[in-house]
Structure 1
Amino acid sequence: MRNSEEVDGFDGEASNTSMISGASSPYQPTTEPVHSRNVLGDIRCDTEYLRSHFGILKIIEVALSIIAFICIETIMLCLPCGGVYFFEFVSCSASVVTGVLLLVFCLNLHLKVPHVNWSITDLVNTAASTFFFFLSSIVLAALNHSSGAAIAAVVFGFLVTGVYGLNTFLAVRQWRKGEGRSGAVQTSEYTRARTASRGEVEAQPDLQ
C-alpha cells in the first residue's frame, strides 16, 4: 500500500502537471466582458438620416403606402377583384420593405452588416416600388373605380408613386456620383503606378 507521502507526491505532481498544461494550452478561458461582445448594444437612432432627403422620403413612402393599404382594405365588394388584390399586395409589400430599410438606415444597422450593398438594395426597392405602384394604380383605376375607397386608394397610389420616383431619381444620381468617384480614384492609382514603373525602367543602367 502507498503511504500518505507518496499519495501527496502524486497529487502534487498531478496538480503541477495540470497547471503547466493549462498554462501552455492555447485554449485559455477568456476574460473579455460579455457586454463587449454584444454587437447590437450600441444601437442609436440616427436623427441626421431622418432629417436628410432620403429619410424624409422614406417616412412619406411608408405613411402613404399604409394609407393606401387601409383604403384598399375598406373595399367590401369588388367585381372583378384582381386589381384590388394586386394593389393590396403591392401596398403591403412596399410598406413593409421600405419600413425595414428605414429602420436599418436609421439605426445604422447597415454598418453592422457591411457585406451587403445597401445602396443597391435601396435603389432596387425604390425602383421596383415605383413601377409596381404605378402599374397597380392603373389597373385598379381601370377595373375598380366605382367606390370611393377604390378612388382614394388610386389617388394615394399615384401620390406614393411620385414619391418613390423622386427617391429613385436621387438614389440613381447618388449612385452615379459614387461610381464616378471610385472610377476616378482607380484611374489615378493606375496612372500613378504606370508612371512609377516607367521611371524605374528609365533609371536602370544600359546593360549593352
Structure 2
Amino acid sequence: MPQREAPGNGTMEVGQVYERTTEPIQSTGGFCNSDYSKKRCIVKVLEVVFSFLAFVLEEVVAICNICHALYFFEFVSCSAFFLTLLLLIILVTSLKRKVERIDWKKVDLYYTAAIALFFVIASIVFAARNGGSDVEKAAVAFGFLASFAFIVDVVLYLIEEKWSTSRKETGPTDTTKRSSENVKGETEPLNEPATV
C-alpha cells in the first residue's frame, strides 16, 4: 500500500482507521530536566563533588594520630558521596516514578538534613583531632564545604516548599476569567460546533 506522511507522527498507511492521538514528550535537554529544581540540582552536584574530594583527601592521609576521628570522617564522607549520588540519579531521572509508594521529597529532605548534621559533626571532630598535615586540613575544608552545601540544600527545599504552599493558597495568577456561557457542559456532544 502507498504511504503518506502524517504531520508529527511519522508515516502511516492510507485508509488506516486509527491514528496516534498523542505526541512524544520532547526533552528540554540538559541534566536537570525533571521537576527537580535547577538550583537544588546544582547544589546536589556540589554535595557529591565536595563529599568525594573530602573522602579522597582523607584516604590519602598516611599516618593518623587519633584514628577514630579520621575513621568517623571517612564513614560520613564516603556515605554522603555514594548516597547523595544515588539520590541525585533517582531524583533527576524517571526512576522516582517507578517506585510511587515512596515520598521522594520527604526522603530527600530527611536524608539531606541528617547528612548535613553528621558532616558538620564529623568535620568539627576531625578538625579538632588531626595530625595537622596539609592533606588533613584540605579534607576538613572540603568537609565543611560539603556541610555548607547540604545545609543550603535543606534551606532551598524549605523555601521552595513554603513558596509552593503559599502559591497554592492564593490560587493561580491567571487574570482571565471564563464566563459560564463560553464553557460547554460535559454532557454536550463532542462533535457539536462550539458557541462563542
TM score, norm. by length of structure 1: 0.62
Q: Give me the whole-angstrom Cα distance separating, in 1, the residues matched to 2:42 and 2:156.
A: 13
1:74 to 48, 52, 60: 60
Q: RMSD over aligned Cα, in angstroms?
A: 2.4
Q: Give me the whole-angstrom Cα distance separating, in 2, the residues matched to 1:145 and 1:78.
A: 6
- Could you tell me which residue of structure 2 aligns to residue 86 of structure 1? 72
- Could you tell me which residue of structure 2 aligns to residue 170 of structure 1? 156
Q: Give me the whole-angstrom Cα distance separating, in 2, the residues matched to 1:89 and 1:163.
A: 18
Structure 1 outlier segments of 4+, above 6 Å: 181-185
Higher strand share: 2
Q: Is the 8 A contact 2:64 2:131 kept in 1?
A: no
- Could you tell me which residue of structure 2 aligns to residue 125 of structure 1? 111
TM score, norm. by length of structure 2: 0.65
2:120 to 128, 134, 143: 134
Identical residues among aligned pairs (%): 35
- Could you tell me which residue of structure 2 aligns to residue 48 of structure 1? 33
Higher helix share: 1
1:149–1:108 CA distance, 2 compared to 1 (3 A): same
- CA drift of 1:56 comes to 0.8
From the CA coordinates, give the structure whose radius of gyration is larger.
Answer: 1
Q: Give me the whole-angstrom Cα distance separating, in 2, the residues matched to 1:168 and 1:145.
A: 32
1:155–1:46 CA distance, 2 compared to 1 (3 A): closer
- CA drift of 1:130 comes to 1.1
Q: Give me the whole-angstrom Cα distance separating, in 2, the residues matched to 1:116 and 1:158.
A: 30
Q: Give me the whole-angstrom Cα distance separating, in 1, the residues matched to 2:77 and 2:117.
A: 12
* Paired positions, count: 142
Letter in 2 for 1:120: K
Equivalent position SS for 2:105: helix
Q: Structure 2 regions of 5+ residues with no counterpart?
A: 1-28, 172-196
- CA drift of 1:173 comes to 2.2
Q: Is the 8 A contact 1:141 1:151 kept in 2?
A: yes
2:47 to 61, 76, 84: 61
Q: Give me the whole-angstrom Cα distance separating, in 2, the residues matched to 1:104 and 1:59.
A: 13
